[in-house]
Structure 1
Amino acid sequence: MSRALICGSLAFDSIMVFEDEFYNHILPDQIHKLNISFLVPSLKKELGGVAGNIAYNLHLLGGKPVPMGMVGQDFDPYREKFDGLGISLEAVKVKSDHYTPQAYITNDLSNNQITAFHPGAMNFSHDNHVGDYADISIGIVGPDGREGMIQHAREFAKNDIPFIFDPGQAMPLFDGEDLKQFIEQATWMAVNDYEFELVCDRTGWDGDEIAKHLEALFVTRGSKGSDIFANGESISIPVVTAEKIVEPTGCGDAYRAGLLYGLMNDLDLTTTGRIASLMGSLKIASPGPQNHHFTVEEFKQHFVKEFGYDYD
């Protein structure tokens, strides 16, 4: 089976809950000399990062993911999990004098967030090269170090490997000309609706112009589902109602894993979007980005129940 090279971060997420509202403890007229601490009785540590999350979800679907990223001296717990799952780590390189990327997220009772992110070894993502790995039929360039994202997109194009461009949280790193270059190199692009507006604003291109440079443009819209723009037409993909809503962290990555699976298996765009939508629904019912579980057969049964046909 061909493999998907997933370029992006592998990270540890420390998620804390402050059992009050931030605004009760921050004086607006004293922001200029802010010095405050929050007691956070609840703390959980999760495996995360876009490359790790997408790889985990593609594995659940029965695909062959190859996450590609730079990690640090503290990566062993992540390695242990992925080794146990049989997910290849051949494209994950260790910088022994740095830490694996870390996100420290504090939520209050209104779901406001204060986040600090330490990129660590991710700053060296350009030390990894697309051409070093065999049997790759598709790729994705997700949020990563700026130089690495530019290099990996160029290498996918040079090696004639179709890929998804997913700027995500890395959007602030790129101006309009950078984004135009990515779009012209990419085969597909996946963004949420806010990121889509940013891309339009920075490039000066509207959605029709962006779609002209791609085989398909995927725009997610949260609870409103997603839209696919291709060949001058649009396809509306409804959201799949979740069994329960627990935590949205990682839903976008689950969706992108569904896209990769459909595209690398030559499924039509409607079916591909529906697989992606169902993946997001199954993820949101579990806490953290990598704690949901199902077999390939269970997923297929979910799909048939939701859409009335088998995608195989």
Structure 2
Amino acid sequence: MASLICGSIAYDTIMNFEGKFADQILPEQIHILNVAFLVPTMRREFGGCAGNIAYNLSLLGGDPIIMATVGGDATPYLNHLEQLKIDASHIRQIDNAFTAQAMITTDQTNNQITAFHPGAMSESHLNQVAAVVAERDTNTKDPVKFGIVAPDGRQGMWEHCHQLADANIPFIFDPGQGLPMFDGPELLELVDIASYLAVNDYEGEMLSQRTGLSLAKVAERVKALIVTKGAEGTDVYVGGKVIAIPPVPASKVVDPTGCGDAFRGGLLFGLENGMDWETTGRLASLMGSIKITHQGPQNHQLSKDEIAAQFKAAFNFSF
């Protein structure tokens, strides 16, 4: 079963600040904020929501298809995806633009400050869901049975949600850091055509403020609303109730970058395979926990069997 991953492909430049942001920012001087952080370590990683989600779904044995836009500097990333045998045939390269770039600084308490240049991502609306569906049918590949719309260019997110709905492909709307680009009525329109909605707790609060609806009311408009809460686990709003999914304690906390995307890779795999929410949520939680023990969004290299063994050790049953 193939899943269409609509979202960003980006290079992540990740830096570590050895102090705490809270100790460097004076609240009473926030109106004239001027701070600099010494970052002794810096590295460049393959990232972006679509790339990260596809990577994690692939680890589980899924069949992700990435639909994204990249710049003229994307050859190393495209080679990386080819080595992973992830379908990158629907990634559009725009030579006169940069691939999206995220500059991420993490402090010692895992708070993050990110600067993001969208680059070619702003042209994501040039890609069409119908073209992917037709290509898979023409080449007798597994058809697209599921989708996710993750943070991307605003117009691309809007159009891809509608295109998936028009194609009768169930999908997760995952607005993430793109949520502020939409007002309340626009968010509700996208929620109403989505099958599932995934946000973290901060985004959930913003969603409630913009729409004027409680999370419970928003959940009534989709098959399920998934709200991640970091180390506190996850709440799944489904069928008029809330299922609390426990966190999986990490053996060590190295880098939170990409943990939400790892969670969504597990979420997609569970939904694709008809797992119940207790199992799906736990698998997604485990994927986030595995990711946080590694630097960068795509450097954890476990096999499906190794993931399955960790799942059984954590929950005492198999997925």
Q: TM-score, normalised by structure 2?
A: 0.91
Whether 2:242 is the aligned partner of 1:242: answer no
User: Which shifted more, 201-210 or 275-284?
Assistant: 201-210
* Amino acid aligned to 1:218: I
Change in Cα spacing, 1:25 to 1:217, as seen in structure 2 (3 Å) is: closer
Deviations 1:11-54 (A, max 9, x none): 001112345666659897596495x7655432111111100000
Q: Is the 8 A contact 2:247 2:285 kept in 1?
A: yes
Could you tell me which residue of structure 2 aligns to residue 206 of structure 1? 214
Instruction: State how far apart, in whole Å, the 1-side matches of 2:182 and 2:203 are.
Output: 12
* Amino acid aligned to 2:184: G
Change in Cα spacing, 1:156 to 1:26, as seen in structure 2 (3 Å) is: same
Could you tell me which residue of structure 2 aligns to residue 154 of structure 1? 162
Whether 2:185 is the aligned partner of 1:177: answer yes
Could you tell me which residue of structure 1 aligns to residue 63 of structure 2? 64
Change in Cα spacing, 1:107 to 1:211, as seen in structure 2 (3 Å) is: closer
1:306 Cα deviation from its structure 2 partner: 1.8
Deviations 1:128-156 (A, max 9, x none): 01111131100001101110000000001
Whether 2:172 is the aligned partner of 1:164: answer yes
1:296 Cα deviation from its structure 2 partner: 0.9
Instruction: State how far apart, in whole Å, the 2-side matches of 1:107 and 1:231 are.
Output: 38
Change in Cα spacing, 1:31 to 1:153, as seen in structure 2 (3 Å) is: same
Instruction: State how far apart, in whole Å, the 2-side matches of 1:228 and 1:119 are.
Output: 31
Where structure 2 has 5 or more consecutive residues not aligned to the other structure, the ranges are: 137-142
The alignment partner of 1:229 has SS state of strand
Could you tell me which residue of structure 2 aligns to residue 191 of structure 1? 199
1:10-25 to 2 correspondence within 5 Å?
A: 10-19=9-18
* Amino acid aligned to 1:243: S
Instruction: State how far apart, in whole Å, the 1-side matches of 2:31 and 2:111 are.
Output: 17
Change in Cα spacing, 1:26 to 1:308, as seen in structure 2 (3 Å) is: closer
1:229 Cα deviation from its structure 2 partner: 1.0
* Amino acid aligned to 1:298: E
1:247 Cα deviation from its structure 2 partner: 1.2
Change in Cα spacing, 1:309 to 1:177, as seen in structure 2 (3 Å) is: same
Could you tell me which residue of structure 2 aligns to residue 131 of structure 1? 130
1:213 Cα deviation from its structure 2 partner: 1.1
Change in Cα spacing, 1:39 to 1:61, as seen in structure 2 (3 Å) is: same
1:258 Cα deviation from its structure 2 partner: 0.7
Instruction: State how far apart, in whole Å, the 2-side matches of 1:31 and 1:112 are.
Output: 21
The alignment partner of 1:190 has SS state of strand
Could you tell me which residue of structure 1 aligns to residue 83 of structure 2? 84
Say which of 255, 265, 271 aligns to 2:263.
255
1:268-283 to 2 correspondence within 5 Å?
A: 268-283=276-291
Instruction: State how far apart, in whole Å, the 1-side matches of 2:237 and 2:151 are.
Output: 22
Q: Is the 8 A contact 2:234 2:244 kept in 1?
A: yes
1:108 Cα deviation from its structure 2 partner: 4.8
Whether 2:17 is the aligned partner of 1:9: answer no
The alignment partner of 1:91 has SS state of strand
Cα-Cα RMSD: 2.0
Instruction: State how far apart, in whole Å, the 1-side matches of 2:78 and 2:108 are.
Output: 33
Instruction: State how far apart, in whole Å, the 1-side matches of 2:20 and 2:312 are.
Output: 43
Could you tell me which residue of structure 2 aligns to residue 226 of structure 1? 234
Could you tell me which residue of structure 1 aligns to residue 40 of structure 2? 41
1:175 Cα deviation from its structure 2 partner: 0.5
Instruction: State how far apart, in whole Å, the 1-side matches of 2:225 and 2:288 are.
Output: 18
Where structure 1 has 5 or more consecutive residues not aligned to the other structure, the ranges are: none
Deviations 1:95-126 (A, max 9, x none): 00001000122345565544321100000000
Could you tell me which residue of structure 2 aligns to residue 145 of structure 1? 153
Change in Cα spacing, 1:19 to 1:298, as seen in structure 2 (3 Å) is: closer
Q: TM-score, normalised by structure 1?
A: 0.93
Could you tell me which residue of structure 2 aligns to residue 117 of structure 1? 116
Change in Cα spacing, 1:78 to 1:203, as seen in structure 2 (3 Å) is: same
Could you tell me which residue of structure 1 aligns to residue 140 of structure 2? none
Instruction: State how far apart, in whole Å, the 2-side matches of 1:17 and 1:54 are.
Output: 23
Could you tell me which residue of structure 2 aligns to residue 265 of structure 1? 273
Number of aligned residues:
309
* Amino acid aligned to 2:91: V
Change in Cα spacing, 1:145 to 1:24, as seen in structure 2 (3 Å) is: closer
Instruction: State how far apart, in whole Å, the 1-side matches of 2:312 and 2:171 are.
Output: 28
Instruction: State how far apart, in whole Å, the 1-side matches of 2:318 and 2:261 are.
Output: 23
Change in Cα spacing, 1:97 to 1:29, as seen in structure 2 (3 Å) is: same
Deviations 1:193-237 (A, max 9, x none): 111111111111112221111111101111110011111121111
Instruction: State how far apart, in whole Å, the 2-side matches of 1:30 and 1:247 are.
Output: 27
The alignment partner of 2:93 has SS state of strand
